[in-house]
Amino acid sequence: MPKMPRVSKAALAKVVTAAVKRKAPAKHKLAEEFPSGEILFDVAKGQWKLGPVIGKGGFGLIYLATDDLRAPVDKHAQYVVKIEPIDNGPLFCELHFYQRAAKIEMIDSWVQERRLRYLGVPKYIGTGRHEKNGRTYRFMVIQRFSTDLQKLFVKSQTFLPRTVMALGLRMIDALEYLHENEYIHADIKAANMLLGYKGAKIAQDEVYLVDYGLAFRYSVDGKHKEYKEDPRKAHDGTIEFTSRDAHKGVCPSRRGDFEILGYCMLQWLCGRLPWEDNLSDPDYVRDSKIKYMRNIPSLLKACFPGRDHPDAISSYLSLVVKLDYDEKPDYKQLRKILLDGLHKMGCKDEWKLHLPPSGTISTTPIITKVQRKRKSPLPQDDSGEPSFVPPKQRKTTSKVVRSPVPAVMTSPRRRKVASPGKTKPPKTLSNGQIDLSSVSWAARSPSADVKKTKSATGPKRTPTKRRVKRSRKPEMDAAIQTTPGLKRNR
């Protein structure tokens, strides 16, 4: 019997490791695109008519939809439908959150009890399954929203401090509701914040926290999840905003949500976080966050080099960093910090977001020539005062400027001279200039306002005047141009 070749322990260990190594999770399958007019039936036997695709993600597609089957789905539809193959997981996780914590009656009751204008959490409308070409799909119906804040942030680079404080207040409202219903969002960022959509118009002062694909139930029957680090789950979420707990693989918590929101507000204020220079290295990002959160002043100095920053963001981060893993945040105190920040800026309405509608913030109003000509109202700043004062306009008039010096002009319309009698024509000297002593006082008088010389008995057009008008000699033009009170013929 032949001898078996010897195998080193190192080689054997590699073989065993490869055998027991887990397979990588399969990529999510994309749903095929359904034609406009496709009808879906939810579990409550409601019918939904699909319109065009308005979004696409790793889980599937998003369609405009309506519950009115008689009319086509237009661009002003009030609902959207998310569809993915039933084997995929993100929509399944999101759907569980909506069914448990985002029912219409639950949100309406919360808003009424706390006297809010609205709550930035989408309302769950319906769900169901759909068969197409031998495949089964899961779908969910929610209310429609408008553009996301990331598009506005990319164009404007930063948000106004009052905008950041107002957005933070609305997110605190949403997070308090989620936490009271035992859920964590875990992926707060501008791309997951959408403006409202009402009556075919964008609701500029309403913002909603969406995308609950990473939503996590941190407490079951009142028992909080234990703090346990798991390297296999490390760095979950969006790398630049991920909490320190998530970097270590710890289950999401309430303090993690507020830490992520703090990073978002910080980026909106300064434009770039200190660790964004190397996002490809998760360990570097984690270590940077741990270092800076131990020393909040150093973090603010790195974000605002040589610049002032709102005191509210410093107070907010200082309060969040003191929270324990399973501690309930003081929502009232967090809200008060941002409210005080707004009041210091002179903002009284906390519900006004002051977002740039076009994605740009103009700091220098531009007054065009057309605006000056039409005397358009001047742009105003926040205090209601004009932010730009144009130079004084030069008055123009069709009247001849009166002067004690005689003005010899030609015009198709002629007036009578105020003094009676025939006006003597002025004499012309040998050098081509006019002899002022020969001009009658009536022609010099300011009351004459002469555009022509004409009397009741005299000719309609005097030879001297005719010669002045028709003269094309350069020396004559120069004499008229340089003589005070005379205007060059045109």
**Which residues are known catalytic residues?**
187
What is the C-alpha separation between 63 and 441, in angstroms, rounded? 88
> Do the beta carbons of residue 302 and residue 278 sit within 8 Å?
no
Nearest CA to 439 among 403, 471, 475? Answer: 403
Residues in the chain, total: 490
What is the C-alpha separation between 277 and 279, in angstroms, rounded? 6
Give 138's strand partners: 84, 129
Q: Which residue has the tokens 């219903």?
A: 181
What is the C-alpha separation between 76 and 66, in angstroms, rounded? 10
Helix-, strand-, coil-residue percentages of the chain, each rounded to 5: 35, 15, 50
Q: Given CA atoms 99, 104, 109, 111 in this order, what sign does their dihedral have?
A: positive
DSSP reduced 3-state for 240 = coil
> Which token pair is 47?
């019918």
CB atoms within 10 A of CB 287: 14
Nearest CA to 261 among 209, 307, 217, 215? Answer: 209
DSSP letter string over 353-412?
A: ----TTS---SS----HHHHHHTPPPPB-TTSSBS--PPPPPP--SSPPP-SS------S
Per DSSP, 232 falls in state G
Burial of residue 154 (CB within 10 Å: 0-12, 13-18, 19+) is exposed
Residues 6+ apart with CB under 8 A from 482: none
Distance of CA 235 to the CA centre of its chain: 29
CA atoms within 13 A on the CB side of 169: 26
Q: Which residue has the tokens 């309405």?
A: 349
Burial pattern 445-470, b for ≥16 Cβ within 10 A else e, equals: beebebbbbbbeeeeeebebbeebee
